[in-house]
Amino acid sequence: MNRKEREERQVIKIKALFASLAVHFLLAWVFITGLFLLSACSGLPGVPPEATEPSTPTPAPTASPTPTIVWFPATQTPTPFATLGLEQPTPDERPGVSEVVAQDDFASKSGWQIGPMVGGTVSIDENQLSIAVPEQAATLVSLRSAALPASYYLEITATTSLCRGQDAYGLVFHSDGAYSSYRWILTCDGQMRVERWRPAEIAVVQNWIDFGQAGAPLTLRLGLWIFREEMRFFVNGDFQFAAHDPLLTGSQIGVFARSTGKNALSVSFSNLVVRQIRGYEPTPIPTPTIYVTKIPTHAPTWTPTH
């Protein structure tokens, strides 16, 4: 082997040595880099990893709701304030009514004016007093002979069998037994009023009002409360009206029926009960105030004499 070949082999060996060293260096660099990355992820042995705060997720932006237009808003109902001591008690329309002073179940045919009369018949039978008027214009009255006190509360049942239009029936009270009395008139078409009857005079105490009960057959419980000149009227326990009239003070009561002559009329009355009124003090009726106009007077003047 010559010298040139020996030098070439020496160069090849040197190149192989450098190549081997380069490979080993590359492998060492890869190994060290891997250790560094591993320690960054899980920490090197003996060195605890630094604590990291958990990241708070950023909430997604919420879209603002579109306001709803209320075209007709609800109106708040005001709460009424409680009032103390302002409630008024219901007035007693029949004050002072006490014990029974007269009662009639019409079992007896005495005590009333009965029999044939001009224009019709008045009779007592089967515990009722009946007034019958044929088809002719007539008024029949039956008075009770016994007297009553000046003040009382009376109830009696009225039953119509034949009753139409302006035909009427009702009560007679404060009668003197002759020509003077009050009449509580109820028509068959549902109207009522009170009249004052005196010789050559018929006056209206309470004009016509509608009480809503009409026709026949019909049964009504009539109530009459009287204290001096004050009168109160009831139908089936319901207050109808009050009136004042001081002129008549008779002590008899009665019943009547009046026909216009267009139709036959038949009415009966039963179960009369009269009670005393005690302890009632009426509210005084205010006296009208009389105003007097004062006329100014002039003081006399003094004229000096010369």
Weakest-pLDDT range from 5-9, 57-61, 129-133: 57-61
Residue 209: which pLDDT band, with cuts at 50, 70 and 90?
Answer: very high
* Mean pLDDT of the chain, nearest integer: 81
Q: Which residues of 258-283 are buried (b: 16+ CB within 10 A; e: fewer)?
A: bbbeebbbbbbbbebbbbbbeebeee
CA-CA distance, 187 to 261, in Å (whole number)? Answer: 14
CA-CA distance, 268 to 157, in Å (whole number)? Answer: 8
Superfamily of domain 98-277: Exo-inulinase; domain 1 (2.60.120.560)
Higher pLDDT, 117 or 19: 117
Weakest-pLDDT range from 15-24, 53-62, 212-221, 222-231: 53-62
* 237-289 residue pLDDT tens: 999 999 999 999 999 999 999 999 999 999 999 999 999 999 888 776 554 44
Give the rounded distance of the alpha carbon of 36 from its chain centre.
95
**What pLDDT does 43 receive?**
47
Higher pLDDT, 23 or 255: 255
Strand positions, DSSP E, 146-260: 152-162, 168-175, 181-187, 191-198, 201-210, 218-227, 230-235, 238-244, 252-260
**What pLDDT does 45 receive?**
46
Higher pLDDT, 49 or 70: 70
Instruction: Enumerate residues 6+ apart whose C-beta is below 8 A from 261.
Output: 135, 136, 137, 138
For the whole prediction, is pTM greater than 0.85?
no
Weakest-pLDDT range from 57-61, 152-156, 253-257: 57-61
**What pLDDT does 68 receive?**
62
**What pLDDT does 132 receive?**
97
Residue 12: which pLDDT band, with cuts at 50, 70 and 90?
Answer: confident
Three-state DSSP class for residue 150: coil
Residue 40: which pLDDT band, with cuts at 50, 70 and 90?
Answer: low
Instruction: Enumerate residues 6+ apart whose C-beta is below 8 A from 93.
Output: 225, 232, 234, 239
Answer for the pair 106, 122: CB distance below 8 angstroms, yes or no: no
* 63-104 residue pLDDT tens: 555 656 655 555 565 555 444 444 555 568 899 999 999 999
Which tokens in the block code for residue 243? Answer: 């009136």
**What pLDDT does 36 receive?**
58
Higher pLDDT, 179 or 72: 179
